[in-house]
Chains A and B, each alone.
Chain A
Amino acid sequence: MKTRLEKLFVTIVLMVGGFLVSIPFIWMILSSFKSEREARTMPPTLWPQEFTFEHYINLFQNLNFGTYFTNTLIIVIFAMLGLLFNTMAGYGFAKFKFKGKEVVFLGVLATMMIPAQVSMIPVYLLLNQMGLTNTMAGIILPGLIAAFNIFLIRQFMTTIPNDLIESARIDGAKEFRIFFQIILPLSKPILAVQAILTFVGAWNSFLWPLIVANDQALYTLSVGLALLQGQHSSSFALQMAGATVMVIPVLFLFLFVQRYIVEGFNTTGIK
């Protein structure tokens, strides 16, 4: 039985917890609008006394954040191509019978076991052999395919009725037309979740850009931010502005689409 007192208690506990969890975000955003001097004053001010955009202007005018931003967007766009490959593979494993399928699928699943830290040295050496270090292709390629996503997409696609595909074939539809015009629209629920998570993953990607890019012209926002923190280690307001630029787009996207993510977790069957 849920008494009123209990409900009140649970709500208060969650409110306190929620406030504690959001402190870093509140502090980040407020500090990013303070002057450098104000950000360092003790006792600290909560609301900026003199609201200033100077750090944001500084980031984009003098500190290359425009370039980092563009590079990050390029990575996001290519990550969507990766998602297309993942989806195609998920469909291939879900709806086709062919020789060696089980072995290949097992091999795909096995790659989930391999941590990034184990593959980072050899992948760097391989990219170096291919002449791809310090190139955009070198940053994008290693993270394009995710076995776990292939697995989730496959799980979803096995529930699509075979008759649909068969009757399309009888009507003479080409295989790729079936994929794009029948399978993809039917897979919207899983693809929506995958697209969001792929966006977030690509936006936040750090390790590969850090290793592969030597040139600042190839840096992403996360690598640029790490560099900024190293070079301007005592300019806290500037750092907070940089962090805000990184965090806010994802935050907004997430507020609009969070419903799909939660539903996605219920449909992907991790229970």
Chain B
Amino acid sequence: MNHKNALTPWLFIGPAVLLLIAFSLLPILVSLLISFTDMNLIGLRNWDMVSFVGIENFIALFQDPLFRRSIFNTLVYVSIGVPLVIVCSLAVALLLNYMTNKLFTFFRVLFYVPSITNIVAIAVVWGFLYNMDVGLFNYVLNTLGLGSVPWLEHPFIAKISLIILAVWKGIGINMLIYLAALQSIPKSFYEAADMDGANKFQKLRYITIPSLSYATFFVTVTTLIGWLQFFEEPFVMTGGGPLDGTMSMALFIYESGFQYNDFGYAAAGSLVLFIFIIVATLVQFTFNKSKEN
């Protein structure tokens, strides 16, 4: 392209690039640096008080029972939540793809809406629904003759409760991705299968699911990354409790940084989380590659 001035492209990309450098790239370097220091509130006011402590933060992290607990909880969130989101959003997409009419468009909107709804509002509403004494869920269970469930009062059940809420919120966007993928499968595939006398299940198993492999890969990677950063749900609904049963790695980092002002320690924790995310992504990519070969 013949633009006369060599500066012109930089005028267009400049503002975005500068802001990204300042608030994305530079922070990673700062994070690496301070994770090896004892940076805290005093250090923030007077940089002379900050000293290098080597890998002490990382050693302390892995000796910290709360951090280990948060890793365990995050792995529980990921290993239950991610498959659930994928299965549910695929199921909803398959159903929605069945017909095209006004009613189905309405359903599509309905399933999508939770994913654009503010997470704090969602957490507040679900907190009410989950309430042990005056919540709707326990009322329904009681009417059905079942006992009350301590939705947010039991360390393990609370984890499940947060997962249910996050799955509810996570379906919408992934369902849209699946729908777009479903609509791009050539009709001729199914016509050929019909001629060969394939039944519905065979068509799903041998045409639909394989054709969705790229969408599934994309959904898996983004959902996995998202769930490793599980934060707002426990922050608003449980504050990490009961008995640290819902404490996630992201919440641990937030609390170390902004409640205890232990910035060095929190930065070290965030780097551990970052490594988790990178490893999980790489595993997905290699898995996907080996499947293609």
Q: Which residues of A contact B113 (CB under 8 A)?
A: 21-22, 25, 251, 254
A27 and B26 CA atoms in complex are apart in Å by 45
- Interface hits, B107-126 → A, CB 8 Å: 107-114, 116-126
Question: B168 in the interface, Cβ–Cβ < 8 Å?
Answer: yes
Assuming the contacts A123-B23, A243-B124, asked whether A271 and B181 have C-beta atoms less than 8 A apart, the reply is yes
Q: Does B146 contact A (CB under 8 A)?
A: no
Using known A-B contacts A88-B16, A250-B116, A271-B180, determine if residue A121 contacts B270 with beta carbons closer than 8 Å.
Answer: yes
B27 in the interface, Cβ–Cβ < 8 Å? yes
**Contacts of B91-134 to chain A: CB distance below 8 A:** 92, 95-96, 98-99, 103-104, 107-114, 116-129, 131, 133-134
Q: Give the Cβ gap from A2 to chain B, nearest Cβ, in Å.
A: 7
Q: Are A115 and B273 interface neighbours, CB within 8 A?
A: yes
* A92 in contact (CB, < 8 A): yes
Query: What's the Cα separation between A174 and B114 when bound, in Å?
Result: 44
Q: Does B84 contact A (CB under 8 A)?
A: no
Task: Tell yes or no: B161 within 8 A of A by CB.
Answer: no
Contact of B12 among A120, A179, A211, A221 (CB under 8 A): A179
Query: Does A260 sit within 8 A of B, measured CB to CB?
Result: no
Q: Cβ of A43 < 8 Å from any Cβ of B?
A: yes
Count residues of A near B (Cβ-Cβ below 8 Å).
100
Rounded to whole angstroms, the CA-CA distance of A118 and B5 in the bound complex is 38
Per-residue contact bits, chain A 86-127, to B (CB 8 Å; 1 contact, 0 not) = 101101110111100100100110110111111111111110
A95 to B9, CA, bound (A): 9
B214 is an interface residue with CB less than 8 A from chain A: yes
Report the separation of the CA atoms of residues A96 and B121 in the bound assembly, to the nearest whole angstrom: 43
Number of cross-chain contacts by CB at 8 Å: 288
Interface residues of B in 178-227 (CB under 8 A from A): 179-181, 183-184, 214-215, 218, 225
Q: For the complex, is A5 an interface residue (Cβ under 8 Å from B)?
A: no
* Prevailing SS type, chain A contact patch: helix
Chain B count of residues within 8 A CB distance of the other chain = 99
Partner of A258 from the list B19, B109, B143 (CB cut-off 8 Å) is B109
A40 to B249 Cα, complex, angstroms: 34
Which stretch, B28-36, B75-83, B151-159, B284-292, touches the partner chain A? B28-36
Main secondary structure of the interface of B (DSSP, over half): helix
Looking at the complex, which of A7-15, A47-55, A57-65 is the stretch in contact with chain B?
A: A7-15
Whether A17 pairs with B25 at a CB distance below 8 angstroms is no
The docked-state distance in angstroms from the alpha carbon of A60 to that of B207 is 55
Q: Which residues of A contact B61 (CB under 8 A)?
A: none
B263 contacts A125, C-beta separation under 8 Å: yes
Residue B258 CB within 8 A of the other chain: yes
B85: Cβ under 8 A from any A Cβ: no
A250: contacting residue among B34, B107, B118, B136, CB under 8 A: B118
B12 and A27 within 8 A (CB): no
Q: A119-B31, A271-B215 in contact; A111/B24 too (CB < 8 A)? A: yes
Minimal beta-carbon separation of A190 from chain B (angstroms):
15
Cβ of B31 and Cβ of A118 under 8 Å apart?
A: yes
User: In the complex, are the beta carbons of B109 and A117 less than 8 A apart?
Assistant: no
Give Cα distance in the complex from A200 to B96, angstroms: 24
Residue ID in chain A nearest B270 by CB atoms: A118
Q: Is B243 an interface residue (CB 8 A)?
A: no
Report chain B residues within 8 Å CB of A262: 108, 176, 179
Nearest-Cβ distance from residue B97 to partner chain A, whole angstroms? 10
Among all A-B residue pairs, the 10 with the closest Cβ atoms: A92-B12, A122-B27, A89-B16, A96-B9, A122-B30, A92-B13, A243-B121, A111-B24, A246-B121, A119-B27
- B interface residues (Cβ-Cβ under 8 A, vs A): 1-3, 5-6, 8-13, 15-17, 19-20, 22-31, 34, 39, 44, 92, 95-96, 98-99, 103-104, 107-114, 116-129, 131, 133-134, 136, 139, 143, 168, 171, 176-177, 179-181, 183-184, 214-215, 218, 225, 228-229, 231-232, 235-236, 249-250, 253-254, 257-258, 263, 266-267, 270-271, 273-274, 277-278, 281
Q: 7 A-B Cβ contacts within 8 A? A: A17-B92, A93-B13, A121-B253, A222-B118, A240-B125, A250-B117, A265-B177
